Amino acid sequence: MSTSTTPQVHLTRRGRALLLVALVAVLLAAFSLGRANSQAASTATGPSQATVEQITVQPGESLWAVARRIAPENDPREVMAQILRLNELTDAELQVGQQLLLPVAA
């Protein structure tokens, strides 16, 4: 009677570490992809849900002042972040005459 036995797989310490790193990388990639998709969806639906107003930057105006003026009840830092995203700006520096899109509560 011949019995066939399957060899057992043994992972070395290095193999386990590599497997763990691969699993973490897959989880991070999935999380990043899901986050990017949700941001794209919120950007795509944002303008339809909130109206937008356009202003021209006046001498002496700062992004902080604009944020406080348009939404005095909200945290100016959050409003500034919305304005930066909406206008695709990399910093809070404004130029006189610059056109800005501002979020307006519906």
Of 96, 80, 83, 74, the C-alpha closest to 52 is 83
Rounded mean pLDDT, 61-67:
93
What is the domain extent for residue 100? 50-106
Residues 24 and 69 in one domain: no
**pTM for the full model?**
0.52
* Residue 4 in domain: no
> CA-CA distance, 73 to 75, in Å (whole number)?
7
Does residue 60 sit in helix, strand or coil? coil
Q: Which residues are CB-neighbours of 19 under 8 A, at least 6 positions away?
A: 11
**Quick one: 56 and 37 in the same domain?**
no
Checking phi first, is residue 60 left (phi over 0); if not, alpha (psi -120 to 50) or beta?
Answer: left
Across residues 26-43, what is the average pLDDT?
A: 69
Q: Do 61 and 31 belong together in one domain?
A: no
- pLDDT of residue 46 exceeding 60, the answer is no
CB 97 within 8 A of CB 81: no
Q: What pLDDT shows up at residue 64?
A: 93
Most confidently modeled range among 28-37, 40-49, 68-77: 68-77
Please tell me the least confidently modeled range out of 40-44, 48-52, 63-67.
Answer: 40-44
